[in-house]
Amino acid sequence: MPRLFIGFELPRVQADALAALAEPAPALRWQTPAQLHLTLRFLGEMSNAQSCEVQQSLSVLCWQALDVQVSGVGYFGPPARPSILWAGVADNAPLHALRAKLDLLLATLLAPDSQHFVPHVTLARCGSGAGHPGRFLARHRQLKLPSWRVSEICLFTSEASDNGSRYRVIARYPSTLPVEMSDDAPDQAP
């Protein structure tokens, strides 16, 4: 059964900038630009029938395009033995609202996610002996990339390979609600 997740792709500029952070270290498996993405909801292994149910549910999702900015770095796992190095996302209420909508929409199909949602882009997977990432964190803690508009979320499948996981988009879901103009935005002619 394939492993599925919902997320979005990164623009080439941001993906290349994040891939450029890779530092040679035998215990780290750095993600390639093609592997970089932001996961909104991990679904796990699903049968074809379950995948079809998820796709049908996502086809009725009403959501508004949102702006995202990569900001800062961090890690998951204990300091002496981290499992993941990641790039964070600037505080983003619309992104958290989209995640909450997904949880609600998929509640009848999936068990509740026990993990607190921490929006991030996985940069590297850490093997044993990776050690504390203090130097990496210090070098890149001020990381800020240009923001971009996310106007499409994707259903991905994750396939294991010798070079790490390969992610393939199996369905795309464009935003369905108009983006509200801010008070300081220029007036648009009708």
For the domain made up of 3-66+94-117+143-174, the CATH class stated in words is alpha beta
CA 190 to CA 181: how far, in whole Å?
14
What SS3 state is found at 151? coil
37 is catalytic: yes
- Indicate the pairing of strand 120-126 with strand 37-45: unpaired
The pTM is what? 0.89
- What is the longest distance spanned by two Cα atoms in the chain? 61
Ranges of each domain in the chain? 3-66+94-117+143-174
Q: Which of 37, 96, 132, 140 is catalytic?
A: 37
Q: Which of 116, 120, 132, 140 is catalytic?
A: 120
Q: What is the pLDDT of residues 81-119, one digit of tens each?
A: 999 999 999 999 999 999 999 999 999 998 888 789 999
C-alpha distance from residue 14 to each of 34, 71, 146 (Å): 11, 11, 8
What SS3 state is found at 167? strand
Q: What is the pLDDT of residues 31-51, one digit of tens each?
A: 999 999 999 999 999 999 999
